[in-house]
Amino acid sequence: MGAELGQYSRSGRSAPCPVTHRPSEGSRRRHGTVPLLEAGDIILMEEFRVQDTTRRCKELREKGVLFVGSGVSGGEEGARYGPSLMPGGDKEAWPHIKKIFQSVAAKVNTGEPCCDWVGEEGAGHFVKMVHNGIEYGDMQLICEAYHLMKDILGMEHDEMATVFGEWNKTELDSFLIEITANILKFRDSDGKHLLPKIKDSAGQKGTGKWTAISALEYGVPVTLIGEAVFARCLSSLKDERVQASKRLDGPKMTQFSGNKKAFLEDIRKALYASKIISYAQGFMLLRQAAKEFGWTINYGGIALMWRGGCIIRSAFLGKIKDAFDRNPDLQNLLLDDFFKKAVEDCQDSWRRVISTGVQIGIPMPCFTTALSFYDGYRHEMLPANLIQAQRDYFGAHTYELLWKPGEFIHTNWTGHGGNVSSSSYNA
């Protein structure tokens, strides 16, 4: 999609033409857009860093100018037929731009637009950033399924295309599954499949990385997006991997001896369960950001905005919308009855795929991290008590007893460490 959406005048004065390129920060300062604006003007801007949107919102508010930062997703098709729009910023602007935004946006089958007010300040851009992180996760999950089909089941491209086409009629119905089927069957001008000729080194513009950085910053375990970013980084070490492939041995077992049809269904279910985890993690990050910045975020509205027009559009997002309609304060998607049952129904398949893939030596960073998250999240007791004891042992960092939360104590574990504890703070 384009860069800035341009400016819109509330007062009815002719608005300056939409800017079609993104000027550098230096050029913005030199040419100074702000002095040309009057109180009541509205600035609309697409995809920028959340911190910049929040700062601009605050600075312009003082001048009476309303700033809206809108996420835009949909690629080339979205640009022509309607994207998903995720506006946030100064809410006073929303009644003035709502009609334009919602008429431009893609619509779902019911006719509802894939655009609604997201929240204050940089909320629109934050939501778009998380959208992109989820996009990285979805793409990597599909790649892992493709890898398993290709290297464990030895499937040909047309056969894989048929399977992805079939999967697109199930819970996995989505734009990314649909284009994967099309990509798999695509043939080059020489009549051969194009996909195996493409260098296996993934690029990235950085929004997935920003999501992972935010997750670390706010302490939210968005493990699947993190792994998806690292999987791209590992893929880009092509020369190093070529060298390593000649030196490092894998497992002895490289042949699959099970039932191919059953294993394919297992892969489909592993992909579905992992996808649920990814979205649950993405919404955990949105919830935490809302807390950090004091935003009121419309979670069901976000699921609807992503339901059509954008790259992660899928039938599945309708189910997320339903979950937030049932309970707008839903703490975690996994606790919604529909998603709880969906994951439980998939888990035997999911575990079988991961154990088979691990035994044969196929990398599945996102399938595996999703399952580890699920197992970690559903455990009342994790081994972090030992981490606390170790920290206290070597650094007097203190720990809490299970029955005395909030009271931090230190133990003199060795008898010669003394009883002085370090100050207690958390990063």
- Determine the residue with CB nearest ligand 6PG: 73
- Residue 214 binds ligand 6PG, judged by CB under 6 A: no
- Residue 73 binds ligand 6PG, judged by CB under 6 A: yes
Beta bridge partners of 8: 42
d(CA 185, CA 321): 33
Helices (H) and strands (E) in the chain, counts: 16, 7
User: Contact 127/303 with Cβ under 8 angstroms?
Assistant: no
Q: Which residue is it, tokens 């798999």? A: 184
- The nearer residue to ligand 6PG, 88 or 357, going by C-beta atoms, is 88
User: Contact 209/229 with Cβ under 8 angstroms?
Assistant: yes
User: Looking at 310, 323, 334, 366, which residue binds ligand 6PG (CB under 6 A)?
Assistant: 310
Half-sphere exposure of 207 (CA within 13 A, CB side): 20
- Residue 138 binds ligand 6PG, judged by CB under 6 A: no
344 has catalytic annotation: no
Q: Binding segment for ligand 6PG among 67-75, 167-175, 318-326, 403-411 (CB under 6 A)?
A: 67-75
Half-sphere exposure of 249 (CA within 13 A, CB side): 3
Number of neighbouring beta carbons within 10 Å of residue 81: 11
- Picking from 170, 110, 161, the residue whose alpha carbon sits closest to that of residue 314 is 170
Catalytic residue among 46, 47, 128, 319: 128
Q: Binding segment for ligand 6PG among 70-78, 109-117, 148-156, 219-227 (CB under 6 A)?
A: 70-78
Closest approach, Cβ 225 to ligand 6PG, in A, equals 12
Q: Build a one-symbol-per-residue string for 149-188: x at contacts with ligand 6PG by CB under 6 A, - elsewhere.
A: ----------------------------------------
Q: Binding segment for ligand 6PG among 186-194, 202-210, 236-244, 278-286 (CB under 6 A)?
A: 202-210
User: Contact 320/336 with Cβ under 8 angstroms?
Assistant: no
- The nearer residue to ligand 6PG, 204 or 347, going by C-beta atoms, is 204
135 has catalytic annotation: yes
User: Positive or negative, the Cα torsion across 289, 297, 309, 165?
Assistant: positive
Residue 187 DSSP one-character state = B
Residues designated catalytic: 128, 135
Return residues touching ligand 6PG (CB under 6 A): 1, 73-75, 132, 135, 203-205, 207-208, 310-311
